């Protein structure tokens, strides 16, 4: 049962772990782990030539941008940067003189990379005009593909039969003066740097954002103060908009900050420059870890219990929750959604199963304990009388010198009471075993008259002591089916209670009627009676009414529960009618097979239907 539930938890966790919702949750987990694991001390190898709001105002708007770039770029390149990556769309011809000046400025710069973009519903490339392409060392795409956070960038994009590497990747290659990018199915090689960007992920890599902002100088500052361009010495320069109104691509980062596209590409370059890449864990790893966690939880609650089980559970949960963080510190990202959901599902299911199983075992233990106590009460209650008779008779025989006749009487009494005691023990054990389903009920036919007459004869002795009358109606001829001794005990117990709880010099009636294949044996007394509350609990073990307890009459409350069990085992029931101060009627209803002839035993019984005191 538990193994099946845990298997279900595992399947649910795996399916959920591959869902879109889980992907979003894994992304949020990545953002948290990345934001809380950044370390200071990063030496940036890139810088921004920022087209900010002040620069746009100073130059009179974006229409004058090419002219200003033509003026500023020679100063930037004079600082000897490693490469210049331009995140601007130069796909249209403008003023020929200005464009020529800008192209001339590009020629003065080492390793210029110009940006390309995909337009018209991702169907065509937007490329720089021919004059600019001629002076560019390479073209690079400027796509970031946020989802919705910009965590990774595809290093290649292909559309309309053309493919371009990312702007930052081309700038990195040129800054290393490396040859063509070498490709394998699982990675890219730029010089001595191997980049784990496989075809299965569109050659994408996680961006390792620098802890502090990448240094930048505005276009206005370089124009006003040429010495400001010295910041770009020995670095890769990224040129692009940082003004909020002009930048089209302000994207969210894992740190929860908005960042322009040119800054994101500069951070991608820093990631490539550093050579430390976060990689996704193997697809099988979260599945295997989830399976191990589910099995672990099952083993904990299958073989441990109490506080030890909960300590082990806490320990396993701690290891599971720390595992993604440990892997992330080793530059491996494991999406935790599948692992966490499987672990917690297994914990809840296994703990619940453990709780209810242990609770069930505890209830069974308590029930066994209760049954043992009931057995002890039964012994003390039902066996007191025969034991007293045996003890008294044996004591008289040992103390006094008796004649042969008296000794014979006492010996017979001891023998009779010991047989009665043995019968009581066997009756009780049989009832208990029947209730537990450990024994099948006898299915022997026997006459109703024999059972009732034996019970009445035993009860008559008790009634005579209290000078009570017993009025017995006609006993119908026919047969019951089951265990004769158990039913005899049941009828005797009801008659015994009727005598016990009735005042002296009153009467008891025993009337039988047959209807619809059942016989109704009603035993009416003139005792203290019961109210509605007592009637609901009268067959509960050890229940005694308040009036019975106040009367001083001894009893344990177990007799009627045994009688009720015996009758139920014989496919019957007991109906009870009672009124406080007016007595009670216990009616036993049992399956009955009438007989057309009246045997001699029934005839003799019906001739002495009234027993007087």
Angstrom distance (rounded) from CA 463 to CA 453: 15
Mean pLDDT confidence for 141-168: 88
Helices (H), 260-333: 261-274, 284-303, 306-329
Q: Are 244 and 20 in contact (CB under 8 A)?
A: no
Going from the C-alpha of 61 to that of each of 51, 53, 55, 264, the distances in angstroms are 11, 9, 8, 24
Q: Residue 433: which of 363, 371, 370 has the closest Cα?
A: 371
The residue assigned the tokens 């409350």 is 557
Domain ranges for the chain, please list them. Answer: 2-18+281-351, 42-278, 441-611
Q: Is residue 218 classed as helix, strand or coil in its secondary structure? A: strand
For residue 105, what are the contacts with CB-CB under 8 A and spacing of at least 6?
Answer: 69, 70, 71, 73, 74, 77
Integer Cα distance of 203 and 196 in angstroms: 8
Span 157-216, pLDDT tens digits = 988 889 999 999 999 999 999 889 999 999 999 998 999 999 888 899 999 998 888 999
326 versus 548: the higher-pLDDT residue is 326
What distance in Å separates the CA atoms of residue 171 and residue 197, rounded to the nearest whole number? 17
What is the spatial distance between Cα 81 and Cα 525, in angstroms, rounded to a whole number? 116
d(CA 377, CA 373): 6
Q: What is the CATH number of domain 441-611?
A: 3.30.565.10
Report how far residue 264's alpha carbon sits from residue 331's, in angstroms, rounded to the nearest whole number: 20
Quick check: 119 pLDDT over 60? Answer: yes
Residue position matching structure tokens 């892997």: 327
**Per-residue model confidence (pLDDT) at position 604:** 45
47 burial (CB, 10 Å; 0-12 / 13-18 / 19+) is buried
> How many of the other CB atoms lie within 10 Å of CB of 604?
11
For residues 100 and 131, the answer to whether their CB atoms sit within 8 Å is yes
Rg (C-alpha) for the chain, rounded Å, is 49
Mean pLDDT, residues 260-275 taken together? 92
Q: Is the peptide bond before 148 cis (omega within 30 degrees of 0)?
A: yes
Question: How far apart, in Å, do the first and last CA atoms of the chain sit?
Answer: 65
CA-nearest of 244, 294, 231, 249 to 13 is 294
Distances (CA, A) of 494 to 205, 219, 436, 587: 88, 110, 23, 10
> Exposure string (b/e) for 410-447, b if CB count within 10 Å is 16 or more?
beebbeebeebbeebeebbebbbebbeeeeebeeeebb
Alpha-carbon distance of 472 to 509, in angstroms, equals 6
Model pLDDT for residues 27-84, shown as the tens digit of each residue: 999 999 998 887 766 788 999 999 998 999 888 888 899 999 999 999 999 999 999 9
State the Cα–Cα distance between residues 10 and 16, nearest whole angstrom.
10
List of residues 6+ apart from 173 with CB closer than 8 A: 138, 165, 181, 190, 191
Percent of the chain with pLDDT over 90: 46
Using an 8 Å Cβ cutoff, are 297 and 347 in contact? yes
Torsion of CA 262, 267, 268, 271, to 10 degrees: 170
- Highest mean pLDDT range out of 35-39, 424-428, 450-454? 450-454
Residue 378 has pLDDT above 60, yes or no: no
Closest CA to 510 of 524, 499, 497, 496: 524
Q: How is residue 258 annotated by DSSP? A: E
- pTM recorded for the entire structure: 0.63
pLDDT at 465: 83
434 pLDDT above the threshold of 70? no
Handedness of CA 231, 236, 237, 241 (dihedral sign): negative
pLDDT at 612 over 50: no
- What pLDDT, in 10s, does the model give residues 293-311? 999 999 998 888 788 989 9
Q: In which band, very low, low, confident or very high, does the pLDDT at 605 lie, cut at 50, 70 and 90?
A: very low
Which of 338, 343, 330, 341 has the alpha carbon at shortest distance from 33? 330
Distance CA 472, CA 498 (A): 14
Q: Which two tokens stand for residue 536?
A: 């609901």
Higher per-residue confidence, 546 vs 289: 289
pLDDT of residue 562: 80
Residue 475, both tokens:
């006993």
Burial class of residue 226 (count of CB atoms within 10 Å of its CB; 0-12, 13-18, 19+): middle
Q: How far apart, in whole angstroms, are the C-alpha atoms of residue 261 and residue 267? A: 10
Contact by Cβ (8 Å): 26, 341: no
Q: Are 491 and 521 in contact (CB under 8 A)?
A: yes
Dump the DSSP string for 125-161. EE---HHHHHH-SEEEE-----SSB--EEESEEEETT
- What is the average per-residue pLDDT within 396-416? 78
Report the C-alpha gap between 187 and 201 in whole angstroms: 11
The structure tokens listed for 242 are: 């940082």
Residues 254, 34: Cα–Cα separation, whole Å: 7
Strands (E), 331-429: 332-333
Mean pLDDT of the chain: 85
For residue 478, pLDDT over 60 is answered with yes
Smallest Cα–Cα separation from 593: which of 537, 528, 519, 523?
A: 519
Left (φ > 0), alpha (ψ -120 to 50) or beta: where does 144 sit? alpha
pLDDT at res. 270? 93
């Amino acid at each position: 049962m538990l193994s099946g539930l845990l298997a279900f938890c595992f399947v649910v966790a795996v399916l959920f772990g591959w869902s879109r919702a889980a992907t979003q949750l894994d992304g949020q987990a990545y953002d948290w782990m990345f934001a809380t694991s950044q370390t200071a001390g990063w030496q940036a190898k890139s810088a921004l030539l920022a087209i900010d709001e002040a620069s746009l105002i100073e130059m009179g708007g974006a229409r004058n941008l090419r002219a200003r770039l033509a003026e500023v770029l020679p100063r930037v390149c004079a600082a000897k940067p490693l490469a210049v990556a331009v995140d601007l769309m130069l796909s249209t011809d403008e003023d020929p003189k200005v464009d020529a000046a800008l192209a001339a400025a590009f020629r003065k710069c080492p390793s210029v990379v110009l940006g390309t973009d995909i337009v018209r519903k991702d169907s065509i490339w937007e490329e720089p005009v021919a004059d600019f392409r001629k002076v560019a060392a390479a073209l690079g795409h400027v796509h970031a593909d946020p989802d919705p956070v910009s965590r990774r960038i595809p290093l290649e994009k292909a559309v309309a039969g053309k493919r371009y590497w990312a702007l930052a990747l081309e700038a990195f290659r040129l800054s290393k003066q490396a040859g063509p990018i070498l490709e394998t199915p699982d990675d890219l090689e730029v010089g001595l740097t191997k980049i784990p960007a496989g075809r299965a992920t569109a050659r994408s890599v996680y961006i390792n954002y620098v802890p502090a902002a990448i240094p930048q100088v505005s276009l206005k500052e370089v124009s006003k103060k040429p010495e400001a361009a010295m910041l770009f010495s020995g670095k890769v320069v990224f040129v692009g908009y940082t003004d909020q109104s002009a930048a089209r691509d302000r994207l969210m980062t894992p740190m929860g900050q908005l960042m322009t596209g040119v800054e994101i590409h500069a951070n991608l370059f820093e990631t490539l420059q550093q050579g430390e890449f976060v990689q996704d864990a193997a697809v099988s790893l979260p599945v295997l870890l989830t399976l191990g966690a589910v099995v672990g939880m099952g083993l904990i609650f299958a073989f441990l219990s109490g506080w030890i089980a909960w300590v082990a559970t806490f320990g396993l949960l701690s290891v599971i929750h720390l595992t993604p963080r440990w892997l992330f510190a080793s530059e491996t990202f494991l999406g935790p959604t599948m692992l966490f959901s499987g672990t917690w599902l297994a914990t809840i299911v296994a703990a619940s199963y453990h709780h209810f199983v242990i609770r069930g075992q505890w209830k069974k233990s308590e029930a066994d304990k209760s049954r043992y106590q009931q057995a002890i009460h039964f012994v003390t209650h039902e066996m007191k009388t025969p034991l007293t008779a045996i003890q008294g008779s044996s004591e008289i025989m040992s103390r006094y010198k008796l004649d042969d006749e008296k000794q014979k009487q006492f010996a017979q009494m001891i023998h009779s009471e010991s047989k009665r005691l043995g019968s009581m023990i066997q009756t009780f054990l049989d009832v208990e075993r029947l209730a537990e389903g450990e024994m099948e009920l006898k299915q022997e036919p026997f006459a109703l008259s024999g059972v009732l007459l034996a019970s009445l004869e035993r009860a008559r002795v008790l009634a005579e002591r209290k000078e009570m009358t017993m009025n017995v109606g006609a006993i119908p001829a026919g047969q019951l089916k089951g265990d004769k001794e158990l039913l005899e005990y049941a009828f005797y117990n009801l008659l015994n209670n009727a005598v016990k709880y009735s005042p002296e010099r009153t009467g008891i009636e025993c009337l039988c009627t047959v209807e619809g294949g059942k016989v109704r044996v009603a035993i009416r007394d003139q005792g203290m009676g019961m109210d509605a509350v007592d009637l609901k609990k009268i067959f509960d073990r050890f229940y005694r009414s308040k009036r019975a307890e106040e009367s001083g009459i001894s009893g344990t409350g177990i007799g009627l529960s045994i009688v009720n069990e015996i009758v139920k085992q014989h496919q019957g029931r007991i109906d009870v009618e009672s009124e406080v101060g007016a007595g009670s009627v216990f009616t036993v209803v049992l399956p009955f097979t009438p007989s057309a002839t009246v045997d001699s035993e029934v005839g003799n019984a019906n001739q002495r239907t009234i027993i007087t005191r």
